[in-house]
């Protein structure tokens, strides 16, 4: 059930020119694109002997990666601990609880509820690493694990290319850990170097575009922590787009009703 999600045309909120397609990642069992990276990393860990059945898995997450890992770990019989900043939405923690994960909330350093900063993430990472030692667990470490990129270079990118018959002008993705953007862009540019690859960041936290961090507190959870992903490759980016809180809220509502 992970991968091979459909594309839909967003003609009701985008009348043209051309067509704007959305890949419907929420149809996966964990509810997001992160299911792909979760499955890939766990599979690679088993292949390398870094993880065995019954061993605990730990990851710092804003929610989506945690849901994907919870689903995969349930099937593989690995207990899963999700470490989250307390600033992430309570609904995300409830979702992880419902999927059988042990959830550990880490107090915020300088953020506020619904607005998680880079320092909040660093505190959650430190707690996750501590648990890895005390529980003798496998640490997913999605920001540094190449599986986060391979999942999209081998899956998401080829799926988009095949579904559209190679007729792709541009690819747009938000950047958190960077796996979706980097992996998909790597594949698409190998097929056609003229494809525009566009990275999206929150306005005021668009440091990848070379701008100063002026708004570490924004409402778009999972991206824009003021951190450059370890595997980030600026040569893949043809354009940056910064999205304001107002725009994010407006289009969230539009996508829900259109």
| Structural domain boundaries in the chain | 7-32+147-257, 35-139
Beta strands per DSSP E along the chain = 7-9, 21-23, 57-60, 80-85, 102-106, 138-139, 170-174, 196-202, 239-243
CATH number of this structure's domain 35-139, picked from the four choices 2.60.40.10, 2.60.40.1220, 3.90.1300.10, 3.40.50.1100: 3.40.50.1100
In contact, 152 and 72? CB cutoff 8 Å: no
Residue 125 phi, psi dihedral angles, 5° rounding:
-60, -45
Q: Hey, do 7-32+147-257 and 35-139 end up sharing a CATH topology, with the first three levels equal? A: yes
- From first CA to last CA, the distance across the chain in angstroms is 26
Kindly compute the dihedral angle of the four CA atoms of residues 123, 128, 133, 136, in this order, to the nearest 10 degrees. Answer: 180
Give the β-pairing of 196-202 and 239-243.
parallel
Cis peptide before 247 (omega within 30 of 0): no
Reading the chain (258 residues) residue by residue, the pLDDT tens digits are 999 999 999 999 998 899 999 999 999 999 999 999 999 999 999 999 999 999 999 999 988 999 999 999 999 999 999 999 999 889 999 999 999 999 999 999 988 888 888 899 899 999 999 999 999 999 999 999 999 999 999 999 999 999 999 999 999 999 999 999 999 999 999 999 999 999 999 999 999 999 999 998 899 988 988 889 999 999 999 999 999 999 999 999 999 998
Fold of 7-32+147-257: Rossmann fold (3.40.50)
């Amino acid at each position: 059930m992970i991968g091979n999600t459909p594309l839909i045309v967003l003609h009701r909120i985008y009348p043209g020119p051309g067509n704007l397609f959305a890949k419907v990642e929420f149809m996966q069992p964990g509810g997001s694109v992160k299911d792909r990276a979760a499955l890939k990393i766990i599979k690679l860990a088993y292949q390398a002997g870094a993880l065995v059945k019954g061993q605990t898995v730990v990851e710092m997450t804003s929610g989506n990666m945690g849901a994907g890992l919870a689903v995969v770990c349930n099937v593989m019989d690995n207990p899963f601990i999700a470490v989250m900043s307390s600033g992430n939405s309570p609904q995300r923690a409830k979702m992880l609880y419902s999927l059988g994960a042990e959830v550990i909330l880490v107090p915020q350093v300088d953020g506020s509820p619904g607005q998680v900063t880079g320092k909040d993430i660093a505190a959650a990472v430190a707690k996750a690493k501590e648990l890895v030692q005390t529980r003798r667990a496998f640490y997913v470490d999605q920001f540094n694990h190449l599986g986060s990129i391979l999942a999209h270079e081998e899956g998401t990118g080829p799926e988009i290319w095949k579904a559209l018959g190679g007729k792709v002008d541009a690819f747009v993705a938000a950047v958190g850990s960077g796996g979706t953007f980097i992996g998909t862009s790597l594949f698409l540019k190998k097929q056609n170097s003229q494809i525009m690859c566009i990275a999206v960041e929150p306005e005021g936290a668009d440091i990848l575009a070379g701008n100063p961090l002026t708004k570490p507190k924004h409402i778009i959870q999972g991206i824009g922590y003021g951190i450059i992903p370890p595997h980030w490759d600026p040569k893949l980016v043809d354009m940056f787009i910064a999205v304001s809180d107002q725009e994010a809220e407006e289009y969230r509502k539009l996508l829900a009703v259109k």
